[in-house]
Chains A and B, each alone.
Chain A
Amino acid sequence: MFLGRVVGRLWATRQAAGLAGRKMLLVRPETAARLVVAVDGLSAGPGDRVVVAHGSRVRDLTVGPEVADKDIVIAIVDGHELSQ
């Protein structure tokens, strides 16, 4: 799992059947310059800090096995504390 910030939403007219109707979010991990397209299992939106979990089992348990994405938002972060 990783901590990231939702930086945007993503829409696609032509998409795999499993993604139909799914809210897709662009998530930028807190400590890496990359973007992950995650499916929203809660109701996160741009600006939210979220925890994203990865894997088919996580996907099956949250949004369902038909969804064609293995990165799922599982928590919306209220606060975090990092010691550095």
Chain B
Amino acid sequence: MILGRVIGHVWAARRDARLQRAKLLVVRPHAIYEPAFATRHLVATDDCDAGVGDDVIICLGAPARASAGGNDMPVDAAVLGVVDRIEWRPEAMQEPGAAPGIKRALGGLGGLEDAR
């Protein structure tokens, strides 16, 4: 699971039939994992009524499908919870490998920038 902040919504009329009732959010991960976040943002389904500006817990892969409505949902990321409060020691996060899956030191929690 990873932490991120909701920064937007997506609307799509033409979508996979199994996604018809899914709410899609755009989330900016707080921690940078490789390689999933080379795109520096995620689109995740949401069952928790998260809104723009909320910090959320995101789950990837099979558990995300389970949360999104079953193993036959064609999704790979889902919001599992809305964070009320976080307590953390930011300096510990500067050490690569401080947590499983983190391959390099975390950058700033900078915004979405256009890559071009």
Chain A interface residues toward B at CB < 8 A: 1-4, 28-34, 41-43, 51, 53-55, 57-58, 61-62, 72, 74-84
* Contacting pair A32 B43 (CB below 8 A): no
Interface contact B40-A31, CB-CB below 8 Å: yes
Is B7 within 8 A of A78, CB to CB? no
Q: Which residues of A contact B9 (CB under 8 A)?
A: 80-81
Partner of B38 from the list A30, A32, A41, A55 (CB cut-off 8 Å) is A32
A53 to B42: give the CA distance in the assembly, Å.
10
- Check B10 against A75 for contact (C-beta < 8 Å): yes
14 A–B contacts from the bound complex (CB under 8 Å): A3-B10, A3-B41, A3-B43, A4-B39, A30-B41, A30-B112, A31-B41, A32-B40, A33-B115, A57-B74, A62-B74, A80-B9, A83-B7, A83-B52
Max chain A CB contacts within 10 Å: which of B7, B10, B44? B10
Inter-subunit contact B115/A51 (CB<8 Å): no
Footprint of A on B, CB under 8 Å? Answer: 7-16, 18-19, 24, 26, 36, 38-44, 52-53, 61-62, 65, 71-77, 111-116
**Of A43, A58, A75, A83, the contact of B24 (CB 8 Å cutoff):** A75
**Which residue of chain A is the closest to B15 with respect to CB atoms?**
A75
Q: How many Å lie between the Cα of A34 and that of B52 in the bound state?
A: 26
Does A2 lie within 8 Å of B16, measured CB to CB?
no
A58 CA / B16 CA spacing, docked (Å): 11
Q: How far is the CB of B78 from chain A (nearest CB, A)?
A: 10
